[in-house]
């Protein structure tokens, strides 16, 4: 396969032709915030609006996940305009995300924390009014807990469940603020076509899908109320 060389943040890197800038950067140890990107997906979702970069010769910032690499391309991931867009996108995302990291099973591995640090902004933004969804938590699966309130709608779990595993237990439903990842008819995950393979949990960038046997995967109070067998 033909390779092309380009410059990202002053570093000369090479990538295969047709590759997207996001993957070229990540493969070379240059981080660009992203949530919805999936390397194997046929088409980038380009839904999270966090991977904005500036390309020399382009008047406006572009999303790295949709921008193909080109010979001699000069990319700046730290441009003021790109970061401004990414920060606003992230703050809007956090406006409906409950920030309770101390009690969240994903504390420390959460990609939202990584992105906030990278963009040097706080998880709790004061710029936008907080609007939480207050949806019920689904702990019916013996393997994992699904808290739709923490979901950022990146669609990774949906893609993996359908495209990679061919199960299709999870999908998007509703529209606008009510949009959520759910099962057919909104039934509990245990009653859906879910196989309990945990692949979606591994793909989840936030604390929306967490393993049950993980420490704190379910709050202690909930575990007493709703005893569930833990994964072997």
Partner 1 sequence: MALNKDKRMAEEQAEFKQQTKQILKRFGRKRSNLIPILQKVQGKLGYLPREAMLEIAEFLNMPDIDVYSVVTFYNQFRLNPPGKHSIRVCLGTACHMKGGYITLDAWKRRLEIEPSETTPDREFDLDTVACVGCCTMAPVTVVDNKPQGKVEPTKVDGLLLGFELERKKQKPGGQLPTDEA
Coil, helix or strand at residue 76: strand
Element (H, E) at 52: strand 52-55
Nearer to partner 1, 69 or 154 (CB): 154
Whichever of 128 and 174 has its CB closer to partner 1, that residue is: 174
In the complex with partner 1, which residue's Cβ is closer, 167 or 231? 167
Q: Does 134 bind partner 1 (CB under 8 A)?
A: no
As a whole number of angstroms, the distance between CA 226 and CA 232 comes to 18
Residue 141 · residue 196 · CB < 8 Å: yes
Instruction: Rank residues 125 and 183 by Cβ distance to partner 1 and give the closer one.
Output: 183
Interaction residues for partner 1, span 156-215 (CB under 8 A): 162, 167-175, 182-186, 193
Closest separation in Å from C-beta 172 to partner 1: 5
Residues 98 and 131: their CA atoms lie apart, in Å, by 9
Site string for partner 1, 25-64 (x = CB under 8 A): ----------------------------------------
Q: How far is the CB of 162 from partner 1 (least distance, A)?
A: 6
Q: 125: Cβ–Cβ under 8 A, 6 or more apart, which residues?
A: 91, 94, 95
Size of the site for partner 1 (CB under 8 A): 16
Binding site for partner 1 (CB under 8 A): 162, 167-175, 182-186, 193
């Amino acid at each position: 396969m033909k390779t092309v060389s380009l410059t990202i943040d002053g570093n000369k890197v090479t990538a295969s032709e047709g590759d997207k800038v996001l993957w070229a950067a990540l493969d070379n140890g240059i981080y660009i915030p992203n949530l919805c990107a999936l390397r194997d997906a046929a088409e980038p979702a380009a839904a999270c609006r966090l991977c904005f970069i500036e390309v020399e010769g382009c008047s406006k910032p572009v999303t790295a996940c949709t921008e193909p690499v080109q010979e001699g391309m000069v990319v700046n991931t730290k441009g003021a305009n790109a970061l401004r867009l990414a920060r606003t996108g992230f703050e809007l995302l956090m406006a409906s995300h409950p920030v309770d990291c101390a009690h969240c099973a994903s504390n420390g591995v959460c990609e939202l924390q990584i992105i906030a640090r990278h963009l040097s902004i706080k998880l709790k933004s004061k710029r936008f009014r907080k609007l939480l969804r207050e949806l019920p938590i689904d702990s019916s699966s013996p393997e994992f807990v699904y808290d739709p309130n923490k979901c950022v709608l990146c669609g990774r779990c949906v893609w993996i469940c359908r495209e990679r595993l061919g199960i299709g237990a999870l999908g998007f439903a509703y529209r606008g603020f009510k949009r959520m990842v759910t099962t057919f008819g909104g039934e509990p995950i245990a009653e859906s076509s879910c196989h309990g393979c945990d692949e979606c949990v591994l793909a989840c960038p936030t604390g929306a899908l967490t393993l049950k046997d993980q420490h704190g995967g379910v709050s202690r109070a909930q575990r007493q109320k709703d005893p569930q067998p833990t994964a072997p």
